[in-house]
């Protein structure tokens, strides 16, 4: 479908509904303290005035949504090779994005957008940690055409001739629009039951803490007297309650992981389009994104014991992103491909990296690497436990039988984290292996490196150990505590490769 993007275009008229929903959501978030007071003291207000106030807010939000729709336009400036966005009601802005700076273009569809038949298009560059542009409501044909035009415009000077490599795909798989990799529902079920335990537990913990805080705030607001309840809930009762909760949480984690994985990645399809991969997935909120090998900075393959037995692993691809974003933020924005078997993993690695990396020279960390986690996760928690038992409440000693179990589990995790920590180096790739239960293998090509830092504190000089950090546009990977002399030899070799190589980092 051909579209004249040289002229300013608006979103679909039905996009006013999306604008209204977005504006209404922001209004509710801004006014939630007032809304809570209204709900709690609704009987004390005049119903007529309350209704008029709600109607006035509704009309105001609708007017704002309409003017946001009316003033939002997008177009392509062919002469300057820029994608231009104009928006704003009172304070109007003009955003011009050079086409060669466009990092990624996603086509998403939420449940509301699916109901009214529109899609959202998001444009991302390497200049910020968030999406540069989000067009909330356009047709699928228009979104697809615009996406292809934006990516074609950025391909002129930095294309990578993937077709010239030895990468092989069966003839029927190379047909445009035909997925050559599909992640089955069974693979998603396996992934949901065997991954993301720590992340799900952290989310549950945050939810429980937040819920209790809101309950306490509500109790104070309505004047609830919690004295008698505080007398009943002693430290021993709370510890018994927490011990009981842990068992339920373990089962709940499995259920949440399974549901989250299926809802997020259902129908995962990977389609080859020229020198790119089109990733499409989602049950309720669908997402379509382009993955280009020349943008890939770090590829991570994650697998644990259960996943190894089931022949599945997860891939995470980090592309060039905001230089000011920290490493954790860059990990969160990584593109995930769950539930790949070994053959699918090898196909993807060969497409993204040009070949399947092999492990070369291995470097092990020093035994001192176990010292810091031992202090943080064993010595400090145990010291705090016995201090509480001796000074605050001796009833905590009723659960002292759990101490050996905790020491054993944490000790095993620290040991395996040390045992799995390895650095492999060959002529073409650097592989950093890490993790206690979920084993991560980070693959990075030397020409992607932008900065290398080697750290050695004064107390480490006697043992000749240090830490090396490889900084790329997609994040940083570090390895230590390893032989410092050997690390410097590797650093000199990588710098030589960067200086003499003809490949660009993007």
pLDDT tens for the chain, 506 residues: list them.
456 788 888 888 877 787 787 777 777 777 766 666 666 666 666 667 777 877 888 888 888 888 888 888 898 888 888 889 888 888 888 888 888 778 778 888 888 888 888 888 888 776 554 556 788 888 888 888 888 888 776 544 443 333 333 333 333 333 345 677 899 999 999 988 888 766 666 666 665 556 555 555 555 555 545 454 455 555 555 556 666 666 776 777 788 888 888 999 999 999 887 778 889 999 888 888 888 888 889 999 999 999 999 999 999 999 876 555 555 556 667 889 999 999 999 999 999 998 999 998 999 999 999 999 999 999 999 999 888 888 877 777 777 887 888 899 899 999 999 999 999 999 999 999 999 989 999 999 999 999 999 999 998 998 999 999 999 988 899 998 899 999 999 999 999 998 887 877 76
What pTM value is reported for the model? Answer: 0.75
What φ, ψ does residue 430 adopt, rounded to 5°?
A: -120, 130
Are both 425 and 295 inside the same structural domain? yes
CA distance 440 to 303: 7
Are both 70 and 146 inside the same structural domain? yes
CA distance 16 to 10: 11
Are both 393 and 324 inside the same structural domain? no
The boundaries of the domain holding residue 111 are 15-156
Number of domains in the chain: 4
Digit-coded pLDDT (tens) for 283-304: 888 888 888 888 889 999 999 9
pLDDT at 112: 80
Are both 214 and 275 inside the same structural domain? no
Give the H/E segment covering residue 454.
strand 451-455
Does 309 fall in a domain? yes
Does 339 fall in a domain? yes
H helices present in 222-341, as ranges? 227-232, 235-265, 305-310, 327-332
Strands 102-109 and 119-125: antiparallel
Does 278 fall in a domain? yes
Q: Angle at Cα 133 formed by Cα 476 and Cα 150, nearest 5°?
A: 90
CA distance 127 to 138: 25
CA distance 416 to 487: 23
Last residue of a domain, one of 392, 417, 442: 417
Q: Match 């492990």 to its residue by tokens.
A: 359
Closest CA to 87 of 76, 98, 66, 73: 73
CA distance 481 to 451: 19
179: left (phi over 0), alpha (psi -120 to 50) or beta: beta
H helices present in 123-196, as ranges? 140-153, 185-194
Q: Is the Cβ–Cβ distance between 261 and 192 less than 8 Å?
A: yes
Are both 240 and 308 inside the same structural domain? no
Are both 351 and 470 inside the same structural domain? yes
Q: Is the Cβ–Cβ distance between 120 and 136 less than 8 Å?
A: yes
Q: Which residues pair with 286 in a beta bridge?
A: 109
Using CA atoms, how far residue 18 sits from 11, 69, 417, in Å, is: 10, 9, 47
């Amino acid at each position: 479908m051909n579209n004249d993007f040289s002229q300013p275009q608006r979103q679909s008229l039905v996009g006013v509904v999306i604008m209204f929903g977005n504006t209404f959501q922001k209004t509710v978030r801004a006014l939630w303290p007032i809304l809570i007071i209204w709900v709690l003291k609704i009987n004390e207000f005049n119903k007529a005035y309350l209704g008029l106030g709600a109607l006035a807010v509704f009309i105001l939000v609708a007017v704002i949504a309409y003017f946001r729709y009316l003033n939002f336009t997008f177009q392509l400036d062919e002469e300057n090779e820029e994608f231009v966005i104009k928006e704003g009601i009172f304070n109007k802005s003009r955003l011009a994005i050079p086409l060669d700076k466009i990092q990624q273009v996603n086509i998403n569809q939420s449940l509301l957008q699916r109901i009214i038949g529109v899609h959202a298009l998001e444009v991302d560059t390497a200049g910020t940690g968030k999406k540069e542009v989000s067009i909330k409501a356009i047709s699928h044909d228009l979104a697809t055409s615009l996406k292809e035009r934006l990516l074609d415009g950025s391909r002129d000077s930095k294309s990578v001739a993937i077709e010239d490599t030895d990468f092989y795909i069966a003839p029927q798989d190379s047909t445009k629009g035909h997925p050559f990799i599909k992640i089955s529902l069974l693979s998603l079920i396996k992934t949901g039951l065997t991954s993301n335990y720590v992340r799900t537990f952290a989310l549950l913990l945050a939810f429980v803490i937040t819920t209790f805080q809101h309950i306490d705030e509500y109790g104070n607001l309505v004047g609830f007297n919690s004295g008698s309840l505080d007398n009943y809930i002693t430290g021993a009762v709370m510890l018994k309650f927490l011990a009981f909760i842990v068992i339920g949480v373990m089962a709940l984690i499995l259920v949440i992981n399974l549901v989250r994985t299926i809802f997020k990645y259902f129908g995962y399809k990977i389609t080859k389009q020229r020198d790119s991969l089109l990733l499409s997935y989602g049950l309720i909120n669908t997402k379509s994104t382009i993955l280009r090998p020349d943008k890939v900075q770090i590829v991570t393959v994650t697998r644990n014991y259960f996943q190894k037995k089931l022949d599945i692993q997860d891939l995470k691809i980090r592309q060039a992103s905001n230089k000011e974003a920290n490493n954790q933020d860059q990990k969160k924005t990584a593109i995930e491909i769950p539930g790949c078997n070994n053959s699918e993993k090898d196909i993807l690695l060969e497409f993204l990296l040009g070949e399947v990396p092999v492990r070369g020279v291995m470097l092990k960390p020093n035994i001192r690497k176990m010292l810091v986690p031992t202090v943080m996760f064993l010595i400090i928690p145990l010291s705090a436990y016995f201090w509480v038992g001796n000074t605050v409440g001796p009833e905590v000693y009723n659960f002292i039988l759990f101490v050996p179990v905790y020491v054993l589990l944490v000790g095993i995790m620290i040991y395996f984290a040390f045992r799995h920590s390895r650095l492999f180096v060959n002529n073409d790739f650097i592989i950093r292996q890490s993790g206690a239960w979920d084993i991560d293998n980070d693959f990075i090509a030397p020409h992607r490196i932008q900065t290398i830092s080697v750290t050695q504190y004064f107390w480490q000089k006697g043992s000749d150990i240090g830490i090396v950090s490889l900084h790329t546009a997609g994040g940083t990977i570090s390895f230590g505590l390893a032989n410092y002399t050997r690390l410097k030899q590797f650093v000199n070799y990588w710098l030589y490769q960067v200086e003499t190589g003809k490949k660009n980092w993007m």
